[in-house]
Amino acid sequence: MPLKVGIPRALFFYYYYPLWKRFFENLGAQIVVSPPTNKSIIDAGIKCAVDEACLPVKVYYGHVTALKNKVDLMFLPRLVSLERKTYICPKFMGLPDMIRSNVKDLPTVIDTTFDLSKNSSSIYRPAREVGHFLESRDRIIDQAWDDAEEFQKEFEDRLYKGHLPCDVLDSLEKGKELPVTCNMKRMCVAVVGHAYNLYDTHISMDLIRHLKNMGVKVITPDIIPTAVSDAYANRLPKRMFWTMGKRLLGSVLHYIDEGKVDGILYVEAFGCGPDSMIEDLSARYVRRDRKIPFQVLTLDEHSGTAGVMTRLEAFVDMISWRGVS
């Protein structure tokens, strides 16, 4: 019987699922992913999470709860830094501790720290630490990691060809064909926000689908190669030291420079610390030349969609009124 490794369908799942899946499977484990966010997952998350956490973190708690009795190992890595001198949100750094103190009866937790902020740090060290839960030989683990990184790269290449992560992940999980990317000339809106908010249809109130139903082509920062968004972020007067923030702000600067999108919709979770800065900076840069309509959408535990729909409709109306259909 292979060991079952649980991966919560939340937060970094939307960025690194292919990497983790391939790595664990290479080491002979069986992957168990929690179901897409639903009401009971949210309710369970809100019940056990600390009050001040943002909605996506609360949702993460819910996914851990949904998985804990079904797996032998729970993968809750501590993501501190994924690149030199650049960091992930502090709530991610404390995630394994927060989960441990609030969720009872957890299986064995893989809470390896990933901190690549220092020059000398190597990814193989934390990768081996994770691997040792399943395999003792470092050589095998390193190979499993290299292969998984290849697989992750393939995933990212597909994104850079214009496929949204939700579609690529879906095709990966269910073996479905990727939908054809649409190049038709129609209204194009850039939806800017963290992947774990945008592609969790429960958190985002399915706003990507709603926009598509209104005849809008949706693009997101995830389909911009990191090198491009990094280059734009480097134009900032001060170095941006949040990985996610750098990505979002760099993308916004790219959209402004390119002038191809008809509108930018910034989606943030209520109470997000980094976004309180990034959203405001984005708004200031966009409004400097006033060419692209910009709108902020704040998400929280609301279950009524009326508020989101009103804003989406008004935003799309505004763009069409300006002469884009």
Partner 1 sequence: MAFADLGIDVGSVSTNIVLIDKNNELLDKIYIRTKGQPIQALQQGLVEIYQRNRDVEIRSVGTTGSARYLAGVIAGSDAVKNEITAHAVAALEEVPGTQTVIEIGGQDSKIIILRDNTVADFAMNTVCAAGTGSFLDQQAARLNLPIEEFGALALKAKNPVRIAGRCSVFAESDMIHKQQMGHNLADIVAGLCEALVRNYLSNVGKGKEILAPVVFQGGVAANKGMREALSKALNTDIVVPKYFDVMGAIGAALLARDAVKQRGTRTNFRGFSFCSTEFNVKSFECTSCANRCEVVELKTLAAVLARWGDRCGKWSEMPVDGLCKQAQKQTQQTG
Among 84, 118, 161, 322, binds partner 1 (CB under 8 A): 322
In the complex, least distance from residue 198 CB atom to partner 1, rounded to whole angstroms: 16
Question: Helix (H, G, I), strand (E, B), or coil: what is residue 172?
Answer: helix
- Measured CA to CA, the distance from residue 263 to residue 78 in angstroms comes to 35
Nearer to partner 1 by Cβ, of 182 and 314: the residue is 314
Within residues 14-53, the interface with partner 1 by CB under 8 A covers 35, 38-41
Among 122, 234, 276, 310, binds partner 1 (CB under 8 A): 310
- 171 contributes a contact to partner 1 by CB under 8 A: no
Question: Which residues fall within 8 angstroms of residue 71, CB to CB, at 6 or more apart?
Answer: 4, 5, 6, 32, 107
Within residues 258-277, the interface with partner 1 by CB under 8 A covers 270
- Measured CA to CA, the distance from residue 250 to residue 233 in angstroms comes to 4
Stretch that binds partner 1, among 130-138, 155-163, 172-180, 310-318 (CB under 8 A): 310-318
Q: Which residue has the tokens 């090198």?
A: 227
- 140 contributes a contact to partner 1 by CB under 8 A: no
- 321 contributes a contact to partner 1 by CB under 8 A: yes
Nearer to partner 1 by Cβ, of 145 and 315: the residue is 315
Among 133, 155, 255, 294, binds partner 1 (CB under 8 A): 294
- Measured CA to CA, the distance from residue 274 to residue 87 in angstroms comes to 11
Q: Which residue has the tokens 């019940």?
A: 47
In the complex, least distance from residue 164 CB atom to partner 1, rounded to whole angstroms: 19
Q: Which residue has the tokens 């989406």?
A: 312
- Measured CA to CA, the distance from residue 294 to residue 313 in angstroms comes to 14
In the complex, least distance from residue 69 CB atom to partner 1, rounded to whole angstroms: 16
Nearer to partner 1 by Cβ, of 26 and 204: the residue is 204
- Measured CA to CA, the distance from residue 67 to residue 7 in angstroms comes to 8
The H or E element spanning position 75 is strand 73-75
Cα 217 from chain centroid? Answer: 20
Q: How would you list the strands of the sheet with 263-269, edge to edge?
A: 217-219, 188-192, 263-269, 294-299
Give the count of residues interacting with partner 1 (CB under 8 A).
32
- 285 contributes a contact to partner 1 by CB under 8 A: no
- 204 contributes a contact to partner 1 by CB under 8 A: no
> What residues pair up with 190 in beta bridges, in sequence order?
219, 264
In the complex, least distance from residue 32 CB atom to partner 1, rounded to whole angstroms: 17
Stretch that binds partner 1, among 91-99, 110-118, 159-167, 314-322 (CB under 8 A): 314-322
In the complex, least distance from residue 108 CB atom to partner 1, rounded to whole angstroms: 27
Angle at the Cα of 198 from the Cα atoms of 196 and 203, rounded to 5 degrees: 80
- Which among 284, 276, 194 is positioned nearest to 237, based on CA atoms? 284
Contact residues toward partner 1 (CB under 8 A) are 35, 38-41, 201-202, 206, 270, 283-284, 287, 290, 293-296, 298, 300, 302-303, 306-307, 309-311, 313-314, 317-318, 321-322
